[in-house]
Structure 1
Amino acid sequence: MMNFRSKVVRLLACLAVLVCPVAVARAIGDDARRYDDWCWLCTHNAMSVEKEGWKLANQSEPVRQQLDDGVRALMLDLWLQDGKVVVRHGSGVGRMLGEKPVAHVLDPVAAFLKDEPDAVVTLIFECYVPSRDVVTAIRDAGLEPYCVALEENGQWPTLGAMRKSGKRLVVMSDRVDPDPELPAWLMKVWDHAWETDWQASSVDALRTRMPRRGDQENELFILNHFVTTVLGASKAAAKRANDAVFVRQRAAAAWQSFGQRPNFLVVDFYDAGDPGRAVAAINRAKDAQQFAAAALDGAGEDRQTKDGN
């Protein structure tokens, strides 16, 4: 029989799921699970924010709000402009769409990690700058004390170990220069991850996305789940794509097809639809078969909720 404390913890976890299903990892007892056995809600072009004046934006809310709302992984594009590292999406045309100093997105991450001692966050850089400049930017933001490197045996640590050590920030980049003086926490993303194609032009096209970059033997599975039209990201398409039922069905198909739990669900306009509910369901499932069955049951439950029955 559960003691009183256990009952309280379970009740709080249930209430938290209703409020923000992604942000309750510690409450539901995930400490024993490894980093690579967990799914994280990830924002595509996290720096490209509508409220901050970016044109053809990919997200509605700034980085700190994304994190407060349960996002736990950020995809960011790094460029050099006048000798300084900036975030923007693309080269020449990208400057016209929006540009910010890198500190504009890294400082909120540092503040969030300080405010939320149980949070585990991942940064995934599309990088067009020297690796030493990336390291400097991380250090200037005060993030290096949080950065984690792989264990000596090559395995990812458990979430509990990351929290206990305070090393709760994973930093990966598609460019890591061959420099022996670089810290071990700056990891090449394609040494550890693989992804599905990112060029879906419609919601229906998401169902047929195939592997793109990275070796499928790698331990982290990036499920790109966003639509890019000729005009860029579409909030209307994101609302359809991010519907909890659709996400769960697509994630179930991917998990069964590729034999690997999605580790990053990458979305545009994370606040359109309810992708966090799907991420929570992925994390509750023990295996692909259980998740596929739950996805079908969940679809019915979600429809009943929407219909008010």
Structure 2
Amino acid sequence: MARLAFSFAVMILIMFHFSSISFASSYGSFQLGDQCSSDVECGVGLGCFKCGIDVARCVRSNITDQYSVVNNSMPFNKYAFLTTHNSYAIEGLPLHVSTQEDSIVQQLNSGVRALMLDTYDYEGDVWLCHSLDEKCFDFTKFNRAIDTFKEIFAFLTANPLEIVTLFLEDYVTSPNGLTKVFNDSGLKKFWFPVQNMPKGGQDWPLVKDMVANNHRLIVFTSAKSKQETEGIAYQWNYVLENQYGDNGVEPNECSNREESVLLTDKTKALVLVNHFSTVPVKVLSCKENSKHLIDTIQTCYLAAGNRWANFIAVNFYKRSDGGGTFQAVDKLNGELLCGRDDVHAC
């Protein structure tokens, strides 16, 4: 019995030893660009992704916190934020066209700070959905808006220094339909009032003041009437935006979206750059989210009268051949905050 107990103890120690090794190396030691076979082999802030026919490599998978590198004492429009296009269109539903791999919670935890959501009336509720003829159908719906809104509420509650922006492509026609969802989800607690939004291209409030006032949810709608009827800011009163889809990824081109005023218009303080193909293809997003993305934000800087983007919207935001979307946001924050090519140089 004593020998059996000793053998058992040795086995437990060996198992603990190996589990300790596994735990200690859970982040991995592989560096940016190293060949890998799984996320656990890559270092902190990196993930293992395959780009095209190339082997899988460790690439950036998390944002730099610009507030910790610099501070949060600048106006909101002096910072840049990673934005996911059709953030709700997450892989996993058969026959649905997806644009993202991660859940909303994962996107926010990885540093995404602006979400593009398409809202529709459907089955007596508000749903996030793709559309056919501006209508939601069973085979194009993803999930109820309130479920996503509750995830955003949980994130803002757990992260009291963070600000999230929502861009709603809004087809909800039920009276106060969106307001009800914002109220029921609890998100009204963090609402940035439309009357506090600057006009005429003036600076936004300081981020630290927005945090102190708990005005940490900025919501824009594409429905003009909602600003008057529900107090939801009409996007084109405050934001400039370039072409989206294939027109937005043309090399050396950056022209305004039809709904937007000219990119050179200085009466809007926020600039959004779209950079995603009309048909989302994960393997093609690698190229789109790499050097091509850096080239586009530089092209749009010139097109916007030497103004850097505050938001860059992409598909499959973690797909790249290296620094990807996270490097692009680092560049934007560096340029906006201190005139340097990378926020780490500020």
- Give the alignment's TM-score, normalised by structure 2: 0.71
Pair 1:117-2:160 in alignment? yes
Query: Which of 208, 230, 241 does residue 288 from structure 2 map onto?
Result: 241
Deviation at 1:27, TM superposition (A): 0.7
Query: Which of 304, 314, 319 does residue 258 from structure 1 map onto?
Result: 304
**Structure with higher helix content:** 1
Query: Which of 87, 90, 94 does residue 128 from structure 2 map onto?
Result: 87
Pair 1:128-2:171 in alignment? yes
Pair 1:279-2:329 in alignment? yes
**Contact 2:127-2:141 within 8 A present in 1 as well:** no
Give the 5 Å matches for 1:4-153: 22-51=63-92, 53=94, 55-91=96-132, 95-130=138-173, 132-149=176-193, 150-151=195-196
Letter of the 2:319 counterpart = A
**RMSD (Å) for aligned C-alpha atoms:** 2.8
- Flag the 1:16–1:24 CA change in 2: closer, same or farther, 3 A: farther
1:6 equivalent in structure 2: none
**Contact 1:23-1:69 within 8 A present in 2 as well:** no
Pair 1:191-2:241 in alignment? no
| Cα distance in 1 for residues equivalent to 2:63 and 2:130 | 27
| Cα distance in 1 for residues equivalent to 2:165 and 2:69 | 20
2:315 equivalent in structure 1: 268
| Cα distance in 1 for residues equivalent to 2:229 and 2:245 | 36
Query: Which of 210, 216, 223 does residue 162 from structure 1 map onto?
Result: 210
1:225 equivalent in structure 2: 275
- Flag the 1:202–1:253 CA change in 2: closer, same or farther, 3 A: closer
**Contact 1:226-1:268 within 8 A present in 2 as well:** yes
Deviation at 1:194, TM superposition (A): 1.8
| Cα distance in 1 for residues equivalent to 2:252 and 2:227 | 40
The SS at the match of 2:69 is coil
**Contact 1:16-1:24 within 8 A present in 2 as well:** no
**Contact 1:88-1:100 within 8 A present in 2 as well:** yes
- Highest Rg: 1 or 2? 2
Letter of the 1:223 counterpart = V
**Contact 2:240-2:260 within 8 A present in 1 as well:** yes
**Contact 2:121-2:136 within 8 A present in 1 as well:** no
The SS at the match of 1:172 is strand
**Contact 1:30-1:159 within 8 A present in 2 as well:** no
**Contact 1:54-1:98 within 8 A present in 2 as well:** no
| Cα distance in 2 for residues equivalent to 1:200 and 1:89 | 18
- Give the alignment's TM-score, normalised by structure 1: 0.79
- Flag the 1:61–1:179 CA change in 2: closer, same or farther, 3 A: closer
Deviation at 1:25, TM superposition (A): 2.6
**Contact 1:21-1:277 within 8 A present in 2 as well:** no
2:256 equivalent in structure 1: 211
**Contact 1:32-1:158 within 8 A present in 2 as well:** yes
Deviation at 1:272, TM superposition (A): 0.7
Name the stretch that deviates more: 136-145 or 214-223.
214-223
| Cα distance in 2 for residues equivalent to 1:269 and 1:263 | 19
| Cα distance in 1 for residues equivalent to 2:333 and 2:185 | 31
1:5 equivalent in structure 2: none
**Contact 2:130-2:141 within 8 A present in 1 as well:** yes
Letter of the 1:69 counterpart = S
**Contact 2:45-2:62 within 8 A present in 1 as well:** yes
* CA displacement 1:69-91 (0-9 Å, x = unmatched): 11000000000012211110113
